Amino acid sequence: MTATLTKYHRLRNDVIRHLYYNKMLTLTDLSKLTHKSLPLVTGIVNDLVQDGYVVEHGLAPSTGGRRALTFLLNKEKQKFIVAVSVDQLITTVVIYDMLNNIQVEPAKIYLNLADEQTSMALFISFITGYIAKSGISEEQILGIGIGMPGVINAKLGVNHTFFKIKNEGNLKNYLSDALKFPVYIDNDSSLIALAELKFGEGRNMKDVMVVNIGWGIGLGMIINGDIFRGHSGYAGEFSHIPLSQSNKLCSCGKRGCLEVDTSLLVLVERAKAEIAAGISSRLEQLFLDDSKLPGEHFLIAARDGDPLAVSILSDAAFLIGKGLSTLIHILNPELIVLGGRGATAGKIFMAPIQHAINEFCIPRLADHTKISVSASAERSELLGAAILVVENCQFN
Amino acid sequence: MTATLTKYHRLRNDVIRHLYYNKMLTLTDLSKLTHKSLPLVTGIVNDLVQDGYVVEHGLAPSTGGRRALTFLLNKEKQKFIVAVSVDQLITTVVIYDMLNNIQVEPAKIYLNLADEQTSMALFISFITGYIAKSGISEEQILGIGIGMPGVINAKLGVNHTFFKIKNEGNLKNYLSDALKFPVYIDNDSSLIALAELKFGEGRNMKDVMVVNIGWGIGLGMIINGDIFRGHSGYAGEFSHIPLSQSNKLCSCGKRGCLEVDTSLLVLVERAKAEIAAGISSRLEQLFLDDSKLPGEHFLIAARDGDPLAVSILSDAAFLIGKGLSTLIHILNPELIVLGGRGATAGKIFMAPIQHAINEFCIPRLADHTKISVSASAERSELLGAAILVVENCQFN
DNA sequence: CACTACTTTTTAAATTATTTTTTAAGTATA
DNA sequence: TATACTTAAAAAATAATTTAAAAAGTAGTG
C-alpha cells in the first residue's frame, strides 16, 4: 500500500513540476512529458483539481480536431520557495511563488565566506530573520534552495570547499536543522545553468554550457538535458585549463589559468593599477563610494561605457573566448550562455568572445554553437535555487 | 496486437543483449538490468529457452539464500556478426559469434580512403567476397557493423566526411543494398570507446574518455554511460584544440593543433627526417620492407625498444598528456583509456603522459582520473563494430 | 546432526497501468 | 449545410507490476 502510494505521489509531483516549468498544459502534453498513459494522468490531474492544486483554464487553441482542456497551477492555493544565493562576498535571499513571481522582495547581506566562524552564524540568523519577517506560514514553504561556490555533492548535501562541517558532516542536514525547513544545496554555476535550461535561453536544448562570470569564473554544464558533474563532482574546472601566456601564479599553483586574468576581483585590481598610473576614469570616483563593492562599481561603469572598464573587460572576454573554443571543440554544445553577475555588463563581452572563437575554432564547429548573454543574469542563480527546491521537494 | 508484439520483442532483444554483454545471468539480474518485473522477465526467458536461444546453466554460487538458476546464450543456435574497421589506409573484416569468439579469421586490405571512386567498389567486393568465402548461411548473419573515420550520424547512417553518396545520400542504406545485409555505421573512435565501455577497462563506468591513437588522433567519449556525440555530431574534436607552441600549419587551417605533432603519419615523417640526418635506427631497414606500412613498422620498432622510435613517441605522448589535462579539467572522467592502433606500443606512452598530467593538472583532479592502456587495442574497433550490430539489430 | 532462523528464488494471486476501442467534439471543405 | 477528417476523452480489454506466499537453500546452535 505504501509503495503504490509513493508511486502515485511521485507522478503527482511530476505533474506539478511540469506545470511549474510550462505554466499551461493539456492532458496529452502531460502524458507525453511524464511518459505515462492518458487515463493515469487524467486521474491524477482530476485529483489535483479536486485538491485545489490545479485549475482548469479553458480550451487550448485548435490544432485541427477537438480542442483540449488546459490546466494551470492554482494561484489561490500557493506554496512558496525560499531561494538563496551565496557568493564569496554577497548573500542574497528571495521568496518565489510557484509561478516564478517574487513574493517577498530580495534582501542582501555582505558576508565574507572566508571567515568560516562568523559567516555561518550570520548566515543562519539572516535567513531565519528574512523568513520570519515575510509573514508566510510555515506549511506554505516548500523548502530552502541554496546556491554556493565550492565542490558540492548535491545529492549528499556536502560542500567540500566552504561552510565545512566538523568530521565530514553534512551541510544540508546541518542547515535543515538550523533553519527548520528542508534545505537543498548545489553549486552556484550548476544552478545558473539549471535556470537557463528550464526558463532561459537553453529551453528544450540538450547540451548547454553556462559560463558563470563572477568573482571567479565558473562553468555549469548541461549534457543530455541534465546537469553534468563528472565522476567525482569536479567537472567544469574551466578556469584552470592552461590558456594564457601570463606568468602570474594562480591560487591552484599553476600558471596561465583563465582565472588569473578574468575574475572580477582581478579586473578591479587592474583598473586600480591603471588609475594609479594616471589613466583617468569614472571609476576613480566610484571606488570611493563604500555602499557598493568595487566589483559592483566596475560592472556598472563598464555597462555605462567607461573606456577603462570596457577595455579591461574586453581583454578578459577575449581570453574567456579562447577557453570557450576548447569547450566547443570537445563538447560541441548547442548553446553557450554567458551568465552570472559579470554578464550584467552584457553585450561588451560578445565582440571579443566572437573574435576569439573565430581565431581559435574550426569554423565548421563554431557554426554549430550559438553564443548568447543571459537575459536574467542577476536573477538566474536565485531562480536556479528555486528550481532546485521544486525538483527535490514533496508536494502533498 | 502488433504493438504488444513489438514491445514483447523489444524486451526479448534486450534480454539477449544483456546476455551478450554479461555471458551468464540470473533472472533477478535480468530483471534489474531491464528494469522489468521478475514474472515478465521469467516468461520471456522461458520462451527464449523454448526457442533454443538461451540455455540453463546450473545454479549460481550461493549468496546466502536459495541459489538462483543461471542462463547463457545457446552455443548451438548461433548467430554471427560481420565487423569491419575502415581507416585511412587499411580495412579489416572479421566474423564474430555472439560469445565474442572469432568465427572466421580476419582479413585485411590496403584501401586508401582518399580515392573516393575506386575505394567504394573495392570495399564492397572485398566484404562480399569475405562473407561468401566464410560459408555462413545468410539467415545466420545478424548484420554488418562498420567503423570508419569522419563525422558520422550513426542513427541516420550518414558519413559527412568520407564515402560520400551523391545528393546527401545515405551511406548506411547504400551499403545495405550493395551488401544485402543490414549495415550499421559509426565513427571509429566512438566504436573503440564502446568496446572499452562494454568489454574493456571501462566496464560499469559512466564517464570514460578513449583516445584513439591512429593515423590521426581521435577521441571517443562516454558520458553518463552512453556515447556522447554533441549537438551536431562533432564532439570530441580533441586533436584541434590549440596546445603546442609548434608553428606547423594543420590541415584545419590553424597552428598548434595536437594532430600536427602526434599522428602516426607525422611521427613516421619525423623518423625519416632524423634518419636522413644521420641518426641510426632499426627503422632504416624496416622502412625498406613494403609488406607493411611505415606506420606499422614504426609501432613495431617502438614496441621493441628502438631508441629513435621510442624518443619520437614519447614527445608525442607528452603532448597528448597535455591535451588530456584539459579533458580532465572539463569533464572529470573516471577513466581515460589509450586505445587505437597506436596503443599497441603500450606502456611507452604512459610515463610521458603522466608527466604531462602532473605538470598541467590540478592534483585534486588528476587524482580522480585513472589512465590506462587498452588491453585489446588492435581488436577494439572491430569489437565495437560488432557491438554496434548487436545494439541495433533484431533477433527474431 | 537435526533443528531453527534467516536469505533468496520462484510461483501465484491481486492490484495497477497501458492499449485499444468507442464515443464525443471540433475543423475544414465541397 | 452536410460530409470527411482531426483530435480529445471515456470505457473496456489487455498487459505488467506489486504483493504475498511457497519453495529451496544456507548458516548457526545446542
Is residue A206 pLDDT above 80, yes or no? yes
* B4 interface with A at CB cutoff 8 Å: no
Contact criterion met (CB < 8 Å) for A207 and B326: no
Residue B3 has a pLDDT of 33
* A325 interface with B at CB cutoff 8 Å: yes
Partners of A338 in beta bridges: A211, A373
Contact criterion met (CB < 8 Å) for B241 and A333: no
- DSSP of B291-308: TS-HHHHHHHHHHTT-HH
Residue A4 has a pLDDT of 36
Nearest to A68, CA basis, from A47, A45, A84: A45
Q: What is the DSSP letter of B163?
A: S
Handedness of CA B128, B132, B134, B140 (dihedral sign): positive
* Residue numbers 23-62 of B with CB closer than 7 A to any atom of strand D: 35-40, 59, 62
Q: What is the mean pLDDT of residues B118-128?
A: 92
pLDDT-derived band at A277, boundaries 50, 70, 90: confident
What φ, ψ does residue A23 adopt, rounded to 5°? 65, -65
pLDDT-derived band at B178, boundaries 50, 70, 90: very high
pLDDT digits (tens, 9 = 90+) for A213-242: 888 889 999 999 999 999 999 999 888 887
A22 touches strand D (CB under 7 A): no
A378: number of Cβ within 10 Å: 15
pLDDT digits (tens, 9 = 90+) for A289-344: 888 888 889 888 988 888 899 999 999 999 899 899 999 999 999 999 999 888 88
Which range, of A30-39, B162-171, B180-189, averages the lowest pLDDT? B162-171
Residue B186 has a pLDDT of 96
CATH of A2-73, one of 3.30.230.10, 1.10.10.10, 3.40.50.720, 3.40.50.150: 1.10.10.10
Q: What is the mean pLDDT of residues A132-154?
A: 94
Q: Where are the beta strands (DSSP E) in chain A?
A: 25-26, 54-59, 69-73, 80-86, 90-97, 102-110, 141-148, 152-153, 158-159, 183-187, 208-213, 217-223, 226-227, 335-339, 370-373
CATH of A204-375, one of 3.30.70.270, 3.30.420.40, 3.20.20.120, 3.40.1440.10: 3.30.420.40
Question: Of all helices (H) and strands (E), which one includes residue B73?
Answer: strand B69-73
Amino acid (one-letter) located at B25: L
* Domain boundaries along the sequence of chain A: 2-73, 80-191+381-392, 204-375
**The three cell numbers locating residue B352:** 610521458
Residue A47 has a pLDDT of 87
Contacts of B229 in chain A (CB under 8 A): 332
* A365 interface with B at CB cutoff 8 Å: yes
Residue A265 has a pLDDT of 84
Top mean pLDDT of A110-114, A379-383, B49-53 is at A379-383
Is residue B372 pLDDT above 90, yes or no? yes
Residue A333 has a pLDDT of 97
Residue B259 has a pLDDT of 82
| B226: nearest CA partner in chain A | A224
pLDDT digits (tens, 9 = 90+) for B12-37: 999 999 999 999 999 988 999 999 98
> In chain B, what is the straight-line distance between the N-terminal and C-terminal CA atoms, in Å?
17
Which range, of A99-108, A173-182, A303-312, averages the lowest pLDDT? A303-312
Average pLDDT, chain B: 89
Residue B17 has a pLDDT of 94
Residue B348 has a pLDDT of 85
Is residue B185 pLDDT above 70, yes or no? yes
How many Å does it take to go from CA A34 to C1' C17?
Answer: 14
* B145 interface with A at CB cutoff 8 Å: no
Residue A286 has a pLDDT of 87
Amino acid (one-letter) located at B168: E
Residue A385 has a pLDDT of 97
Q: What are the CA-CA distances from residue A104 to residues A87, A241, B123 (Å)? A: 21, 41, 69
Domain A80-191+381-392's class?
Answer: alpha beta
- 3-class SS shares of chain A: helix, strand, coil, % to 5: 45, 20, 30
How far apart are alpha carbons A380 and A382 in whole angstroms?
A: 5
Two domains, one topology: B2-73 and B80-191+381-392? no
Is residue A1 pLDDT above 60, yes or no? no
The separation between CA B93 and the C-alpha centre of its own chain, rounded to angstroms, equals: 13
How far apart are alpha carbons B31 and A106 in whole angstroms?
A: 50
Residue A133 has a pLDDT of 96
- 3-class SS shares of chain B: helix, strand, coil, % to 5: 45, 20, 30
Q: Are strands B80-86 and B141-148 parallel, antiparallel or unpaired?
A: parallel
With helix as H, strand as E and coil as C, how does A88-150 read?
CCEEEEEEEECCCCEEEEEEEEECCCCCHHHHHHHHHHHHHHHHHHHCCCHHHEEEEEEEECC
pLDDT-derived band at A60, boundaries 50, 70, 90: confident
Residue A353 has a pLDDT of 93
Domain B201-375's class?
Answer: alpha beta
Nearest to B237, CA basis, from A237, A240, A328, A367: A328
Contacts of B232 in chain A (CB under 8 A): 332, 334, 368
How far apart are alpha carbons A200 and A87 in whole angstroms?
A: 21
Reduced to 3 states, what is the DSSP secondary structure of residue B334?
A: coil
